[in-house]
Amino acid sequence: MVNGVRRVRDDDEGSAGRLLALSDGVFAIAMTLLALDIQLPDGLDPTEFGRALGHVMPKVWAYVLSLLVIAACWRGHFQIFRYVREVDGTVIRLGLLSLGLVALMPFPTTLLAEYGDQPESVAVYSGAVAAMVATELALTVVLWKRPWLGRAPVPDAIARNDVADLGSTVLVFAVAVPLAFVSPTGAKLWWTVLIPVKALTGRRGKRLRADAEQFGS
Amino acid sequence: MVNGVRRVRDDDEGSAGRLLALSDGVFAIAMTLLALDIQLPDGLDPTEFGRALGHVMPKVWAYVLSLLVIAACWRGHFQIFRYVREVDGTVIRLGLLSLGLVALMPFPTTLLAEYGDQPESVAVYSGAVAAMVATELALTVVLWKRPWLGRAPVPDAIARNDVADLGSTVLVFAVAVPLAFVSPTGAKLWWTVLIPVKALTGRRGKRLRADAEQFGS
Amino acid sequence: MVNGVRRVRDDDEGSAGRLLALSDGVFAIAMTLLALDIQLPDGLDPTEFGRALGHVMPKVWAYVLSLLVIAACWRGHFQIFRYVREVDGTVIRLGLLSLGLVALMPFPTTLLAEYGDQPESVAVYSGAVAAMVATELALTVVLWKRPWLGRAPVPDAIARNDVADLGSTVLVFAVAVPLAFVSPTGAKLWWTVLIPVKALTGRRGKRLRADAEQFGS
Amino acid sequence: MVNGVRRVRDDDEGSAGRLLALSDGVFAIAMTLLALDIQLPDGLDPTEFGRALGHVMPKVWAYVLSLLVIAACWRGHFQIFRYVREVDGTVIRLGLLSLGLVALMPFPTTLLAEYGDQPESVAVYSGAVAAMVATELALTVVLWKRPWLGRAPVPDAIARNDVADLGSTVLVFAVAVPLAFVSPTGAKLWWTVLIPVKALTGRRGKRLRADAEQFGS
């Protein structure tokens, strides 16, 4: 079998199971990381208790925001690896890099939640999202070009749509990094450019996948 | 196969394995979260040691209570996903939401263990339980109405019993939120309404499942 | 098939995979919990650095001790669940209880490492080990008496040897709890009673398992 | 079957799945451990915010370095266990030892990142890497000599190359421990001896594995 030989020659690693187990572990920790901060000191009297409860609310908000970001990353990761069966050295390296970025995400998210009016917060957050989505983009391209790693090749139309989707996200967030130093609010408004782009690629992706499943594979 | 095509058209995600791996990771962290607090400072003399050990006891108690709550959540989650093989976008979204609530549970549980006489504690705890069980209810309904996601359709009698069980729990805890501000103790007594309800639905559920297994599937 | 029907009638839960995934998550966190404490503050000058490094050593020692204890628990858990395929309500309840105790183990272990001369430390540690091994004993008995949960019934001779091994451990550590208040050192010496007992049951267990594999199953 | 009987006689443990699940959990926690430190206090004014952000950078750097080290360990672990199906007592003991060392790695890595000019830091880091790679070496030898644990025996040429690769790493880092007390910088330069060695064994390993896959297995 040509594919089998080719895979083995290119690289000597394989079996996606462990990389996904490691990934789900890192995602689980990243999701719960900010919940560790949501705590009251003990031994407070009723007045202090009320005040302390009020101070906890921004942390709950940072937790919710971080959860949404990590959950979105996990969904992206889930989609990318859904039909992958084998991993080679390049995929492992990109996968580990993306995990390192996932574990880091709670920090820029907290910056944004607590210091959202500071240019540095918006720049750090935009840069972190851009880096994270860029590794997802790289993984998508690598897996598309190496069909022997998956159960079935990704149809070109679907892969191109995914690349457009992820590529535009990287572009928007990368541009937001310098923009944040001009105007933090401007950079946040600039993010909303993605809403129509995502709506378009999302709808096209859904249709393409439905078609692919109906005729073939 | 009609079901297969339908699933694919509705949604392009699947494979429950990774969602369950992520879930078990979050449950494992949530279960051990409060154990992180159970610590003595080092370098104490014997008198200080005795006193510090005494101060640790409320944390052990909060840990035990939180463990019980998370363990009950895990058993519910286990039951709900027991026969699920595929997950679609809606199930993933609800599943991630329920994980976010699971990771948050140690906070309201500690509030209840340490400040159980404050109305806010009872209200926050009741609200958290109500929200958590509401996502379990939503998951149960979604999985019942989308039999193509599971290995076998859930019999209607069993699903209706589960909905009654979870729905009454949501109702009781949701009513306890405003009640807590009238009387925290009254709200806690109100929770006990669930004991006979749970006993009834629990016994019915067991009988229905035994019957279903004996004739069929 | 009689076994299948019986299992289903007794209980409506099953599938050991998720309980083991949850368990391995909790074990992984418990193993690394004390490593979180091994840290130096930043920005120290060379003299302070040397002193801070010295203060870290007792924490490394507590970590090593805790690792050994948790690793021993994991090996016991691994052995107990090795041939288990299905779990019912009783096994899940006992399994969750044992996880709660595993997550707690770093605390008594640190007590012992840092305050080993205090009676309370030896008593708390002995009690924690006794409780932990008692749940392992209960799991062993339940799984032995419910052969339909495993891939093959546990031979009676092996199960009796395991019960003797775990039962004597529970007994020794339970007796050590009051003993610790008479003499902490005496209680620690009393633990060594287990060395010949363990050697005996360990060797017998190995021989019995080898025989069982050779003739049959 | 001779192999089967032999395995059973030697040892009564098996099934690599749970050891790998535990390992991936520990790796996931070790990877994210230092991300827990990357936090800003809340309620800072703009000037304090800028300064606090600057103080966070060394922690980000320690996190990146630690991530690289743990990721390299994970890739080694992945390679070693890739074709392993069963684990016996020796493999479990070595595996648990290596996990204990993995969980510890963030500490020496932080030492190196923050106090890299101190002899103790370089010595502790070198010793930790030497110990970690020594357990990988021991695992490689044990698995090579016990072919019945894997899906297929490891060809002798590949195993010898892996032993040379890991053995030289252990040697270089073990020698660096005393060297660090003579000159921390000298010890770090000494590490670079490994670059040509690794390049050589890496290239040979890739070729040997490609050949093995083409003819046979």
- pLDDT tens-digit readout, A47-92: 888 888 888 888 898 899 889 989 999 999 998 998 888 898 899 9
pLDDT value of position C47: 87
Cβ pair B159, B105 in contact under 8 A: no
Please state the domain count of chain D: 1
What was the ipTM of the complex prediction? 0.85
CA of B139: how far to CAs of A195, B11, B154, C21, in Å? 28, 16, 13, 21
Task: For residues B153-175, give the mean pLDDT.
Answer: 92
What is the per-residue pLDDT for D123? Answer: 95
Given a cut of 70, whether residue C7 has pLDDT beyond it is no
CB contact under 8 A, D22 and C27: yes
Element holding D125 (H helix, E strand): helix D119-145
Query: Which residues is B150 bridged to in the sheet?
Result: B84
Closest-CA distance, B109 to chain D, in angstroms, reads 23
Q: Please state the rounded mean pLDDT for residues A142-151.
A: 89
Phi–psi pair at D26, nearest 5 degrees? -65, -45
Q: Tell me if C87 sits within 8 A of C95, measured CB to CB.
A: yes
- Give a yes or no: residue B82 inside a domain: yes
* Residue span of the structural domain in which C45 resides: 16-216
Long-range contacts of C164-167 (CB under 8 A, 24+ apart): C164/C201, C165/C197, C165/C198, C165/C201, C165/C202, C165/C205, C166/C133, C166/C136, C166/C137, C166/C140, C167/C137
C chain contacts of residue A28, beta-carbon cutoff 8 Å: 25
Asked whether residue A8 is assigned to any structural domain, the reply reads no
State yes or no: pLDDT of A159 exceeds 50: yes
Contacts of residues C145-151 at CB distance under 8 Å and 24 or more positions apart, as own/partner, are C146/C7, C146/C88, C146/C91, C147/C3, C148/C3, C148/C4, C148/C6, C148/C7, C148/C86, C149/C7, C149/C16, C149/C84, C149/C85, C149/C86, C149/C87, C149/C88, C149/C91, C150/C83, C150/C84, C150/C85, C150/C86, C151/C83, C151/C84, C151/C85
Check if the beta carbon of residue C112 is closer than 8 Å to that of residue C122: yes
> Residue C18 — φ and ψ, nearest 5°?
-70, -35
CB contact under 8 A, C74 and D22: yes
* Residue C199 identity (one-letter amino acid): A
Chains that touch C (3 or more CB pairs under 8 A): A, B, D
A4 pLDDT more than 90:
no
Name the residue among D13, D29, D107 with its Cβ closest to that of C39.
D107
With beta carbons under 8 A apart, name residues in chain C contacting D58: 42
Instruction: Report which secondary-structure segment, H or E, holds C143.
Output: helix C119-145
Lowest mean pLDDT among B152-166, C10-24, C49-63, D62-76: C10-24
Q: What's the pLDDT tens digit per position in C78-106?
A: 989 988 888 988 999 999 999 999 999 99
DSSP state letters, C59-93: HHHHHHHHHHHHHHHHHHHHHHTTTB----HHHHH
Helix (H, G, I), strand (E, B) or coil at A159: helix
Confidence of residue A10 (pLDDT cuts 50, 70, 90): very low
For residue D14, the model assigns a pLDDT of 52
Q: What number of CA atoms fall less than 13 Å from residue C98's CA on the CB side?
A: 29
Alpha-carbon distance D107 to nearest alpha carbon in chain C (angstroms): 6
Query: Is residue D124 included in any domain, yes or no?
Result: yes
The mean per-residue pLDDT over the stretch B78-87 comes to 89
Residues B194-209 pLDDT 10s: 999 989 998 998 888 8
**Sign of the C-alpha dihedral computed for residues C194, C195, C199 and C202 taken in this order:** positive
Name every chain D residue with its beta carbon within 8 A of the beta carbon of B25. Answer: 25, 28
CA distance A86 to B49: 54
How near does any CA of chain C get to the CA of B84, in Å?
Answer: 12
Contact C63 D114 (CB under 8 A): no
pLDDT above 70: residue B34: yes
**Residue B84, phi then psi, degrees to nearest 5:** -85, 135
**What are A's interface residues with C at a Cβ cutoff of 8 A?**
25, 28
The predicted structure's pLDDT at residue A216: 52
Domain assignment present for C138: yes
Helices (H) and strands (E) in chain B, counts: 9, 0
- The residues with which C62 forms a beta bridge, in sequence order, are none
Mean pLDDT (whole number) for A146-157 = 86
**D188 part of a folded domain:** yes
Pick from C21, C44, C209: CB nearest D21: C21
Closest Cβ opposite residue C25 in set B28, B39, B64: B28
* D122 domain-assigned: yes
Nearest C-alpha of chain D: how many angstroms from B25? Answer: 8
Indicate whether A41 belongs to any domain: yes
Q: Is A118 among the domain residues?
A: yes
Which of B176, A115, C48, A143 lies closest to D118 in space, CA to CA? C48
Inter-chain CB proximity C35 and D9 less than 8 Å = no
C-alpha A78/C-alpha A67 separation (Å) is 16
What is the band of C210 on the pLDDT scale with cuts at 50, 70, 90? Answer: confident
pLDDT for position C45: 87
Residue of B37, B51, B78 to mutate when probing chain C, most C C-beta within 10 A: B78
The CA distance from A36 to D47, in Å, is 27
| Cβ contacts of A42 on chain B, cutoff 8 Å | 58-59, 114
| pLDDT for residue B154 is more than 60 | yes
Adjacent-strand bridge partners of D84: D150
pLDDT of residue C216: 52
The whole-number average pLDDT for the span B121-137 is: 94
pLDDT digit string (tens) for A172-204?
A: 999 999 999 999 999 999 999 999 998 999 899
* B122 has pLDDT over 90: yes
Calpha distance B77→B139 (Å, rounded): 9
Output the pTM of the full model. 0.89
With H, G, I as helix, E, B as strand and everything else as coil, classify residue D19. Answer: helix
Average pLDDT over residues B36-49: 85
Length of chain B counted residue by residue: 217
The residue ranges of chain D whose pLDDT is under 70 are 1-14, 215-217
Do residues B34 and B103 touch, judged by C-beta distance below 8 A?
no
Per CB-CB distance under 8 Å, the chain A contacts of C28 are 25
Distance from CA of A35 to the nearest CA of B (A): 6
Residue C214 has pLDDT above 80, yes or no: no
Whole-angstrom CA distances from C215 to B85, B179, C160, C209 are 38, 66, 19, 10
What's the whole-number mean pLDDT along residues C121-149?
93
Q: A36: which chain B residues are within 8 Å (Cβ-Cβ)? A: 33, 36
